[in-house]
Structure 1
Amino acid sequence: MPTPRHALITGGSRGIGLAIAQLFASQGYRLTLLARNNRNLEDALSTLPTSHLSSSSPHRYIATHAITNDKFWTTSGLDDTFGAQYEFEDAKEKNIDVLVNCAGISQSSSFVRTKGEDIKEIVDINLTAAMLATRFLLSKRYIKGRSFKAAETEEPFSPTIINVASLLGMKGGVGAVAYAASKAGMIGFTRALAAEIGRSGIRVNTIVPGYVSTDMTTDLERSSDLRSSIPMGRFGKPEEIADAALFLARNQYAHNCILNLDGGLSAT
């Protein structure tokens, strides 16, 4: 049997990241999930389907310890100790076929009332950590530029980096200036990196969700005015964003895609 492909998902313990993990797991992917909270990470693993697990393949799903130190989540940078924290079972796990940069925190405060340290934290977690982690994984060749057949029966497959941005990074929004700036940065990061490394056989894409039903948007979803401003009349579901991630992983011509999933809100 061909070796299952390996997806590394940051922010994979809840919300959109968890929905992506669940869908990829159902498709037979090996998973590495990164999160800042061990309990959330353990809870996330318990939701993954186990139909593919067997005594001969006990490590189909892999969870790291929560990454809580500055090496990953802040701008102090990454070094060789980051790789050691993965605790991969063998060398095969170091080949990452799909990287999903989904870790993020939200904001709800006017710009002038947002503390400087809060602005830094939002940008660090939402943007800088994604850039540093991606740079680390590329430089250490965890993500290798290639397009190959894992088995004779398989189609050629090139690895992909999928960044999760936000409609606020394109449209703007009240009370979310730092958040919007960080998500706009993710779109710029995608476009520039796609131009720089595309010829190496590595694809880079972005999903741009609108308002999605997660624990981060519970209060917002109660607003009938906000829901009515969305042409589809509702918030999106995490599973609908996960569908887009799987499409971008599978479609070998998907490169430099900026994929809106906002229920039509960007058209208003």
Structure 2
Amino acid sequence: MEVVRPEFLPDPALSREEMEALQRDIADQATFLDDFSFDAALVCEDDADQQRLGESTESADASAEPPLVAGVDQAFVDDRAVSAVVVSCGDEVVERVSAVVDTEIPYIPGLLSFREGGAIVAAFEALESEPDLALVDGSGRIHFREAGLATHVGLLFDLPAVGVAKSLLCGTPARSLDEKFAVGTRIPIEADAKVETADPGTVIGYALQTRQYANADRYVNPLYVSPGHRFSAATAADVVEGCCAGYKLPEPTRLADSYADEAKAELRE
């Protein structure tokens, strides 16, 4: 797979000010509206139950093919970033690739793509298949400059992308998250003063409850889902919710997480 917008390649040699300026340009060029040709209802369709998002099987086009979905996750071995990309179609894994790149800068909140982006780009460039969309372990629009890892990767390859994060980088939930939510609950995350590039109150993503314990004394934290590129916030949440087959993580990033661990183990041997 080839980079479409090389001017946005993450260069760790840039100064912090230059990185942040590039991110503002990325946010300006990214699209946070639905702009794709596949049926979002078929993203994580399982052959066993023909699950579709937001519509019944009677109303959907039964002849439509599920899109190719790339799950993306990272791991680290010392100062090396290991990026894993797993491409699936429905419940079938089509391709798995990984890449290892030395990290040149430490972790800095908001500049993750400049630390990990080189390995992710190398992994995507090694793909023989052409995914229709990517689910990325990291933020998209929920970012100080609306240019998280999923936004950066999506724009580089002009690939519809969704960010799936385990913690909230910035933005304000529309209601308190200090309670136990039922599966399927969505709490809008709104831009606040920390988000430089969006008007206050803009919905930049959702806290999405994808799994929950039945035991009243235990709870599972929500995921923080946001559009990366060519997705709206609502459709990004639809897709992630439809891909969580009884797990907290959506299946594409869960597969990528497992493969990243395999690649990390092999690197250590």
User: TM tier, shorter chain?
Assistant: 0.3 to 0.5
TM, length-normalised to structure 2: 0.32
Higher strand share: 2
- Higher relative CO (Cα under 8 Å, sequence separation at least 6) belongs to 2
